[in-house]
Amino acid sequence: MQISASVKLETTPAAIEKTLGKPVQAAKTESARAIPADQLSLQRATGPVPESPARLNHPLQNSSPAVERRLQRYYGSADPAKIQAQARKMLGIEGVLLPAPHQRQANFLEFASRHFPPRPSKEDPFELPQHGPQPGMPVYALWQTYAQTDYGALMIEKVLKEAGEKPFVVRATTEGPPQGWHDFILVPENFPRNANQFRYGGQAIDPLAILHHEFEHTRFGRFEQSEAQMLQEEVHAVREVENPVRSLNGFEPRYTYTQLDPEGQPLQTVNILKPEVIHPGAWRFDPEDPGLMLPADNK
């Protein structure tokens, strides 16, 4: 993966101690490809980014029989109410005091002022972008929407309550997938417009779930970070963080995770239902049974 025509990102978390903006290659998010036709019914007519949390009332209704079978296989139920209740518990947003809507907006503005670095008057085109999301960028609007969700509001509140002056920055990159590590998150300026589907998994991307997934890789997440357990950390982030958000926003769970090399080529794939089995290269889930795998058709 490249940020500019001549500067490649380093590939290990150790590089972060040298340059804050150089992300972990093993944590790359897959890029885009087509959505299976029977998954389209799970998406709202307004697209993957909700205009407000109030739009997320009954997103899993009217699913096709094939989708219902997969939901039953993954969750043990195809009932939207049960799936979403389980998701809220997993995300820690059930039975807790949540910020009021006006407080969420105020918290977002404070979060942006603290953690979105301003654009410098002059940037070196051969260096990694140093500025954060700016008003007018699609990714800025996405962060605003994230801050209005229950899970996003609690995460941002958690960041704002952290004592001390430990660095944590959110930056807007020119290209590449969203990525996060201990004290930073990088998201492309045009996200989610620049990516709608996972390239190798073949499923639709939920941009809000991706932001929450990347937060899980930071020090505000629940999983212990380890360079030796990158793949296990990704499986955890998908299963415990990304998929609960996907269900709240009307998407099927993400069934696979493909780890990429520094050039963006698939190294290995795991099935979220059977993470103990590692498949070399690129694989997709079987539409008839998401616990089974099929070779990807775009190697």
Q: Are 290 and 251 in contact (CB under 8 A)?
A: no
Please name which of 79, 69, 76, 77 lies closest in space to residue 288, comparing C-alpha atoms.
69
Cα dihedral 34/35/37/41 (nearest 10):
-150
Burial 32-54 (b: 16+ CB within 10 A, else e): ebebbeebeebbeeeebbbeebe
How many CB atoms are closer than 10 A to CB 205? 25
Percent of the chain with pLDDT over 70: 73
- Residue 217 — very low, low, confident or very high, per pLDDT cuts 50/70/90? very high
Q: The whole model's pTM is what?
A: 0.79
CB-count burial class (<10 Å; 0-12, 13-18, 19+) for 253: buried
Contacts of 243 (CB under 8 A, 6+ apart): 87, 209, 253, 254, 272
Rg (CA), the chain: 18
The CA-based diameter of the chain, rounded to the nearest angstrom, is 55
Per-residue pLDDT tens over the stretch 145-191: 999 999 999 999 999 999 777 899 999 998 888 999 889 999 999 99
Tell the residue number behind the tokens 């899993």, with chain if given: 60
